[in-house]
Structure formats: structure tokens, C-alpha cells
């Protein structure tokens, strides 16, 4: 698909904001900027869903139920979303809005854990919280065949981590797993991290070196528990990967899809030409709507 004018303009604006170096003071400022932008979409999810909260051990999770929903919640389809944000950021209104639209399309209940963030809570806090949210659904009696996982960026890395933990705990797998522009390899060994340096409109390699230092906090990057792309994909459910051709994280999706195929896992992958990282979140882009519709088709097919 030809890249839209809006996408080209967005890439230009993102390049103007891209930073060569990061520090903790800039992270604090970035969190404040994210919060300000996030307020602009406050209440949008309410147009599609009723929102409530459920308590986990160390955080809460939003539960989104479509306004016209009338099924028994325990027999309903559930979409468990792990948000992105480099393991350090969260824009709750933005993710509620995206999840509400998807759930309304699918007639499903959405669950969005507000997992703990680094650097205050480094690895494995986020993984523990997200894994608990999956266990919570099983404990409530939701069939695993009615649960689909979705994650973007850091949330995509968390999807890979949770699949590995589910397998390790010998729990039943969800029906599918979808990953947008996923993280998941803190060894930073993918060729795209170097081929796309300067081409990615949002990040530079130094960005990932900074966020890695905050999230790992001394853990070994080559440990599959830390970098879940390095784990075996045996026994995983059908997987859907998307990424941009020019983003630094492109090869996490490419390698993940290849590992899934080698493990006999049904897999689909879309590489979007020239777009920014995580473009599905950019509601102003026509490509975002197309990508989210493809996501819904994939999830529906495996439910």
C-alpha cells in the first residue's frame, strides 16, 4: 500500500522531536508530555465501552465491555492488551480508546493491565503483572479458547514473555497472539537496529540503550526470560506480527515470524513500507484503520 500524505507528514514531525541522547530528566519530561497528550483522548473509550477496574496484586487492570454487550461475561471472548511505552511509559486514555474500538468491532471484553513501570519497577515486574492478568481470566473461568493476546512495542515483548511463562507453568495457551512493532530482544542484535538508524522517524539506537538500562537494571540481556525473542516458540498459538520497513525494531517481528514458522506455529506478518513505529496507535492515519481491521480479521479467524 502506498504511504499516505498524512503518514509522511507525521514522520517529518516525529523526526523533529527525535532525541539523540536520553537521561532521567528527559524521561520525566516525556512522561509529562505523554500525560498532556493523553488527556486529549480522555472519554473516547466511553463512546464504545463501559469501563471498570479489577485489582491485581500490584496494580489494577481496566475492563472494557461494549455498550451493546449482553452475553455472559464468563463465556464471552476476551482480548488481553499489554500496552507499549518502552516499559517506562503509559498513556491509559489512548490505549483504552484503541482497545474500545477493537472490542466493539469484535464483540469482546477488553482487559488492559496498568502494569508497573521501570525504572521504579524494573524487570520482571511488568511480566509478573501481565502474567497475573492472564491467570486472573483463567481463574474466573474464562476458557483459554476465548482469550486472545495483543501487545504493541514493549507490550509486544510482554506478549512473548507471557507466552513463555504460560508454557513454563503448563497452563493452556490463548487462542492467538498479535504483536505490533514488538520489542523482545534486549541484546539489540537485529540488523534493522543498524540499517534503519537515521531512517526510523521516532527512535535512534541510543534510545534503546537508555531504555534497556532502565528496564534490565543489571539483568542479563541474553537471558530468554529477559529477551523473549531468544526463547523457543514451540507450542505457541497462532501469531500475527506487524512492523514498519524503516523502524529500528523491524527485525524483532521478522525473526519472530520466522521462529514461529520453524516451530510449526501458524503465523502471519505484515511489513508496512515507510511508516513510523507503532502506527496502529496513530488514529489520524488511514493506514491505522486498515491495520486494525486486519487485526480484527486475524483474531476472529482464530476464535
Give catalytic residues, as residue numbers: 153, 247
Among 16, 277, 41, 8, CA closest to 152: 277
| Neighbour-count burial for 243-281, b at 16+ CB within 10 Å, e otherwise | bbebbbbbbbbbbbbebbeeeebebbbbbbebbbbbbbb
Distance CA 124, CA 36 (A): 28
Give the DSSP letter of residue 39: H
Q: Which residue has the cell 497528550?
A: 37
- Helix spans in the chain (H): 5-17, 24-39, 92-106, 125-140, 154-168, 192-195, 205-216, 250-262, 286-302
Among 231, 288, 238, 226, CA closest to 268: 238
CA angle 142, 145, 146 (to 5 degrees): 55
Q: Which residue has the cell 507499549?
A: 84
Q: What is the DSSP string of 59-127?
A: SEEEEEEETT--S-GGGS-EEEEE--STTT---HHHHHHHHHHHHHHHT-EEEEE----TTTS-TTHHH
Q: Please check whether residue 56 is in contact with residue 127, taking contact to mean a CB–CB distance below 8 angstroms.
A: no
The grid cell for 23 is 537521561
Amino acid at each position: 500500500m502506498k504511504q499516505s500524505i498524512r503518514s509522511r507528514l507525521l514522520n517529518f514531525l516525529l523526526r523533529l522531536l527525535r532525541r539523540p541522547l536520553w537521561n532521567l530528566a528527559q524521561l520525566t519530561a516525556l512522561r509529562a508530555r505523554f500525560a498532556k497528550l493523553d488527556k486529549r483522548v480522555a472519554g473516547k473509550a466511553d463512546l464504545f465501552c463501559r469501563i471498570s477496574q479489577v485489582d491485581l496484586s500490584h496494580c489494577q487492570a481496566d475492563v472494557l465491555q461494549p455498550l451493546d454487550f449482553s452475553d455472559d461475561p464468563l463465556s464471552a471472548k476476551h482480548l488481553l492488551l499489554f500496552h507499549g511505552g518502552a516499559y517506562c511509559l503509559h498513556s491509559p486514555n489512548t490505549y483504552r480508546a484503541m482497545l474500545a474500538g477493537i472490542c466493539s468491532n469484535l464483540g469482546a471484553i477488553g482487559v488492559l493491565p496498568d502494569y508497573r513501570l521501570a525504572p521504579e519497577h524494573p524487570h520482571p515486574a511488568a511480566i509478573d503483572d501481565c502474567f497475573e492478568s492472564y491467570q486472573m481470566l483463567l481463574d474466573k473461568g474464562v476458557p483459554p479458547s476465548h482469550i486472545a493476546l495483543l501487545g504493541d512495542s514493549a507490550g509486544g515483548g510482554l506478549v512473548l514473555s507471557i507466552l513463555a511463562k504460560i508454557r513454563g507453568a503448563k497452563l493452556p495457551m490463548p487462542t492467538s497472539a498479535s504483536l505490533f512493532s514488538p520489542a523482545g530482544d534486549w541484546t539489540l542484535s537485529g540488523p534493522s537496529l543498524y540499517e534503519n538508524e537515521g531512517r526510523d522517524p521516532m527512535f535512534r539506537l541510543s534510545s534503546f540503550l537508555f531504555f534497556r538500562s532502565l528496564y534490565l537494571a543489571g539483568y542479563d540481556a541474553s537471558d530468554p526470560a529477559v529477551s523473549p525473542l531468544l526463547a523457543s516458540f514451540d507450542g505457541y498459538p497462532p501469531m500475527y506480527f506487524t512492523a514498519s520497513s524503516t523502524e529500528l525494531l523491524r527485525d524483532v517481528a521478522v525473526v519472530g515470524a520466522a521462529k514461529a514458522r520453524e516451530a510449526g506455529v501458524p503465523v502471519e506478518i505484515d511489513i508496512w513500507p515507510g511508516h513510523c513505529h507503532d502506527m496502529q496507535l496513530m488514529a489520524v492515519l488511514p493506514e491505522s484503520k486498515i491495520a486494525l481491521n486486519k487485526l480484527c480479521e486475524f483474531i476472529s479467524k482464530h476464535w
